[in-house]
Amino acid sequence: MTEPGQGRFDRMIAEVEDYAILLLDKEGTILTWNRGAEKIKGYTSQEIIGKSYKLFYSKDDNLNKLPESLLDEAYKKGKANHEGWRIRKDGSRFWGSITLTAIHDEVGNVTGFLKLTRDLTDKKISEDKLSNYIEELRLTNEELRKSEDRYHKMISEVKDYAIILLDKNGDIQNWNAGAESIKGYTAFEAIGKNFRIFYTPEDIEKKIPEKLLAEAEDKGKATSEGWRKKKDGTRFWGSVVITALHDKAGALIGFSKVTRDLTDKKIIEDALKKSAFDFELKNLQLEKLNSELASFAFVVSHDLKEPIRKIQVFAGRQLEENKSPEQMKEFAQKIISTAARMQQLMNALLSYTQISTNKNQEEIVDLNQVLESVKNDLEIVITETNAEIKSSNLPVIPGVAFQMHQLFLNLLTNAIKFSKPGSIPEITISSEKVDQENLPEPLIIKNKNYIAVSFTDNGIGFEQEQALRIFDVFQRLKPGQDTSGTGIGLSIVKKVILNHDGYVVANSQPNEGATFKIYLPV
């Protein structure tokens, strides 16, 4: 036989153990004691019933008459809330969050008080460390054996918590003042309806209410936080604990559901997180700018080295004897072309730190044209080393052409520079489309297609454990063998890739060449 509604109330309270729920007379003498109270405060019911609730307060709080003032506030206003350090039986302290609610008789006279206490010690510590972050409320099964009338008044007059009883299907069996205050429905409107009415259409589609009941039935309780819906359609951030209720034989008879409106705390928490994120972002941007300014001179030196060398070579050839006018004209044209390229590089480098992350600088970049421009810059070193550069048809991407030039220049320079002694450098450049699930890291830009451009050489390679370190500023692949260069070439590559919302991955083994693969959105 199904237990009557009030009997279910008794069992609902009896199986809650995360709250100390007790009844006081008008003077603060303890009349009832539940398992949650025993768990939190350490006293058994035989030890505590009949004693004053001032026993839980510190010496200073009693000297300041805090217990009396809380009863007086609840007497006058109907309710008193307080948080502070409380004392257990063994003398240890816990951070208690209490609500004192005045209990009235049929004519409105105060006959006693309902006292709800939650041990929020862990939450208090977290709040001190994480800017008042509020943990979710937790309720578990507890057993209370008290008068049905007293329990009925206790529950019905609590306004800070929506405490309702559900049957096995989730249909609402009772409704308290807190439920009406938080959710906006009267008892007449709510009782008999399914508790799914509090959930958003998205949660209903995901069957969140059914999953919570199933979890509570399986594990004894289910906790949840999320946006819930009031009668008028507005939303509030609800912290919910659903506890399975059982009869004496252990059979499931329904659920207790306790809801707290934490909307204000949620808003504050989100604002704190956003402020922290914004601060961290600004800090990272400032560090990045400082790093760029610190290495600016090195960038100029590194990227202008080859054009300067080219001018020196052709200027020197003009001084050689027996040069025809046609040869002199050719050398002069190469010097003029290279000087113009240097001027272009210098102008671009001067504004590089300011425009490197500016999406307004983006244009349509043909990587085939970028490659040809870089091969022209490296004409001397390519000729001297007999380097062979093979390339398939490369894609067109949105990006900053100057930065793509820097990327190709540094990767090709790096491949030629670290060729095997006595061997002709062979460099192969290829590209392919990449599915999002095959990217090396989570997507930087959602719903974007990516391509991978690979630079593979036959050089001396490096240990794979260096694959991340080599992209740091001033890191060299072979510190003990190579003293040329500034060690920033690959850091420029990484910077350009990050500015284009991409990735760069290096793979190599000693004496087996290396492959640098860059992933770019298209």
Higher-scoring residue by pLDDT: 184, 445: 184
Beta bridge partners of 31: none
Q: What is the pLDDT of residue 357?
A: 56
Per-residue model confidence (pLDDT) at position 299 = 53
- Contact assessment for residue 133 and residue 125, using Cβ atoms and an 8 Å cutoff: no
Domain for residue 204, yes or no? no
Confidence label for 487 from pLDDT (cuts 50, 70 and 90): low
Nearest to 486 by CA among 417, 438, 429: 417
Query: What is the C-alpha separation between 408 and 401, in angstroms, rounded?
Result: 11
Cβ atoms 131, 123 nearer than 8 A: no
Residues 6 or more apart whose Cβ sits within 8 Å of residue 182: 162, 230, 236, 238, 259, 261
Is 345 inside a domain boundary? no
The pair of three-digit structure tokens given for residue 492, joined into one six-digit string:
């420029």
Burial 450-476, CB ≥16 within 10 A → b, else e: bbbbbbbbbbbbbeeebbeebbebebb
pLDDT in tens, 286-316: 675 565 555 555 555 656 677 788 888 888 8
Element housing 259 (H / E): strand 252-261
The pLDDT of 399-426, averaged and rounded, is 89
Supply 292's token pair: 């760029």
Q: Is residue 288 assigned to a domain?
A: no
Closest CA to 182 of 266, 239, 137, 136: 239
Q: Which tokens is 199 given?
A: 């959930």
d(CA 370, CA 360): 20
Query: How many domains does one find in the chain?
Result: 2
Q: Which of 81, 101, 136 is the last residue of a domain?
A: 136
SS3 readout for 283-350? HHHHHHHHHHHHCHHHHHHHHHHHHHHHHHHHHHHHCCCCCCHHHHHHHHHHHHHHHHHHHHHHHHHH
Q: Is 212 helix (H, G, I), strand (E, B) or coil?
A: helix
Q: Looking at the domain assignment, is residue 428 inside a domain? A: yes
With cut-offs at 50, 70 and 90, classify the pLDDT of residue 471: confident
**pLDDT above 90 covers what percent of the chain?**
27
Per-residue model confidence (pLDDT) at position 386: 93
Q: Which H helix or E strand runs over 391? A: strand 388-391
- 459 within a domain of the structure (yes/no): yes
- Domain end position, chosen among 136, 162, 182: 136
Residue at 151 is within a domain: no
- The confidence score (pLDDT) of residue 416 equals 92
Residue 79: pLDDT over 70: yes
Q: State pTM to two decimals.
A: 0.39
Domain CATH number, residue 450: 3.30.565.10
| E-assigned strand segments in 180-251 | 221-229, 235-246
Q: Residues 349-366: pLDDT tens digits?
A: 554 444 455 555 678 999
Q: How far apart are CA 308 and CA 431, in angstroms?
A: 31
Q: What is the CATH number of the domain that holds 49?
A: 3.30.450.20
Strands (E), 57-109: 79-87, 93-104
pLDDT at 150: 56
Q: What is the mean pLDDT of residues 271-287?
A: 70
In the predicted structure, residue 57 carries a pLDDT above the cut 60: yes
**CB-count burial class (<10 Å; 0-12, 13-18, 19+) for 340:** exposed
Question: What residues make up the domain containing 28?
Answer: 19-136
**Residue 280, Cβ neighbours under 10 Å: how many?**
10
CA distance 352 to 394: 25
The answer to whether 423 touches 386, Cβ cutoff 8 Å, is: no
Q: What is the mean pLDDT of residues 402-421?
A: 89
β-pair partners for 29? 52
Q: Give the integer Cα–Cα distance in Å for 88 and 40.
A: 8
CA–CA dist 33, 41 (Å, integer) = 11
Asked if residue 104 is part of any domain, the answer here is yes
- The number of beta carbons lying within 10 Å of the beta carbon of residue 105 is 10
Q: What is the pLDDT of residue 59?
A: 92
Q: Which two tokens stand for residue 162?
A: 């929506």
Establish if 248 belongs to a structural domain.
no
Residue (of 184, 114, 117) closest to 152 by Cα position: 114
Length of the chain: 522
Domain stop point among 136, 166, 185: 136
